[in-house]
Structure 1
């Protein structure tokens, strides 16, 4: 026997011993089931601890059965032997008296894989009716059944038209009030969003008075002030903003922020940002008062 023959002999022996070390078992949790009933199929595998096995997943063809769910369990290893198990919940829609199922497990190797199949398990079809009588017996029923009437489209159209007219009249009557409530709620939501973001940025700026944070805080503040007053705060300088609001303290606060942005100087910003927030809160309250007065005069 040449070298090639010896090689194939040892290869066959190794595969044979390997196959003997992997034991696969499969069985249904019940021997019969009705059409479409949920049934469990248990798949177990015992193999050496050093071996790597993979159970089939939903991509495997279970026909004529249909896979509903797969449930896996934690592996157990004792004395170098590992036990893996899983339950496959399936349904049978075949009208055959019995269906059979055998599932594989795959041993992964470096360059290839080996497939081991479980024993073939049988699932019998359980019939709900044993037989149908040749002469069906019908039960007497003298209860009158209601006759379906034609839908009255004209009446439905009149009712729908009346509802539309009523809603339109109410909308015209209360349009100004509804619009005022909408503006008020929009301003409240805008303030909540601004205040939350502003406090977050101001807190970060107090911890780290960096140029980028200072620029973001002042930009957020100017943007909100512009939206609530309608004045071009984004375009104005610090002195122009202070003159417009007639508040010299605002100029000092904005000037301190500008020194961080343009001169890179450090400053205690907590008092400054709190003051600017209160200025914004005042303008927000004035906006709500303006909306309320407009609703009262209309």
Structure 2
């Protein structure tokens, strides 16, 4: 075996030993459950203390199971090895005899990430009825019940027409208010979703200023601003955005993140991401005020 062969052999052994250093274990807290019953799924990971791991959250597809709650626990480190664990409370609404679940764990590195999966855990469906008789037994009853054979179609038509007219009148009277209320609630929900995802991504970016995270943070911010202003933020450069919003600090904030994307340089992004969040919040408040003023003018 030549030098190249020996090098490849040692490289394969080192990669294999590194992959084995992360141990993922997943199992249900009970082996069977009734339809819709709350069941816990335990996810445990043992890994080197220096590794940075991320557990799946509510965005992960648990189907056919439905995620009810996620409960995390404090990390335990001993002799350079860390134990992280979480419990996912789920419900099963599938009629399949058995459901299998395997959850991923993501290890973040500087330029890439590695995904580890737990072994598949089985959850069996517990039926309430042990068996259904082939021939149903009916109770004998020879007492006849009176059945009304006529139906007043004229009265039913008048009542139905009255209800439709009433609903139509209410819809015309309150249509604009209902539309404004719907738009307001939609913007509030969109802001809550944006803010939650923004804080999660910027927190990861502050810990690990990687190119992929930086690009995702900028894309999330531009996409949200574009959705509430109808301006092409996704197509504009940082300088064009700063000029359109008449705010030079936006250019500096975006530039500090762009340095990670285009120059591959590490940067402290906390101040920049906080300022971009304030800009997004200001535009969100402007959108709510515009909806409120349109409602008042009508």
- CA spacing shift, 1:240–1:90, aligned 2, 3 Å: closer
User: Over aligned residue pairs, what C-alpha RMSD do you find?
Assistant: 2.6
Q: Deviations over 1:215-244 (max 9, x none)?
A: 000000000000111111111111111111
Alignment-derived partner of residue 252 in structure 2: 252
CA distance in 2, matches of 1:282, 1:291: 14
Show the 5 A alignment for 1:1-298: 148=148, 150-298=150-298
Cα distance, 1:90 vs structure 2: 7.4
Q: Deviations over 1:118-144 (max 9, x none)?
A: xxxxxxxxxxxxxxxxxxxx9xx9xxx
Deviating above 6 A after TM superposition, structure 1's stretches of 4 or more consecutive aligned residues are: 89-95
- CA spacing shift, 1:159–1:201, aligned 2, 3 Å: same
Q: Deviations over 1:72-102 (max 9, x none)?
A: xxxxxxxxxxxxxxxxx9789799xxxxxxx
TM-score of the pair, normalised by structure 1: 0.51
CA distance in 2, matches of 1:275, 1:242: 13
CA distance in 2, matches of 1:267, 1:276: 16
- CA spacing shift, 1:210–1:169, aligned 2, 3 Å: same
- CA spacing shift, 1:175–1:91, aligned 2, 3 Å: closer
Structure 2: 5+ residue stretches without partners:
1-128, 136-141
- CA spacing shift, 1:154–1:268, aligned 2, 3 Å: same
- CA spacing shift, 1:245–1:153, aligned 2, 3 Å: same
CA distance in 2, matches of 1:260, 1:285: 30
- CA spacing shift, 1:159–1:252, aligned 2, 3 Å: same
CA distance in 2, matches of 1:260, 1:181: 41
- CA spacing shift, 1:147–1:225, aligned 2, 3 Å: closer
- CA spacing shift, 1:91–1:296, aligned 2, 3 Å: closer
Q: Deviations over 1:3-49 (max 9, x none)?
A: xxxxxxxxxxxxxxxxxxxxxxxxxxxxxxxxxxxxxxxxxxxxxxx
- CA spacing shift, 1:91–1:289, aligned 2, 3 Å: closer
Aligned residues: 164
Cα distance, 1:148 vs structure 2: 2.8
- CA spacing shift, 1:279–1:90, aligned 2, 3 Å: closer
Cα distance, 1:269 vs structure 2: 0.9
Secondary structure at the aligned position of 1:217 is classed as helix
CA distance in 1, matches of 2:295, 2:134: 72
Cα distance, 1:150 vs structure 2: 1.8
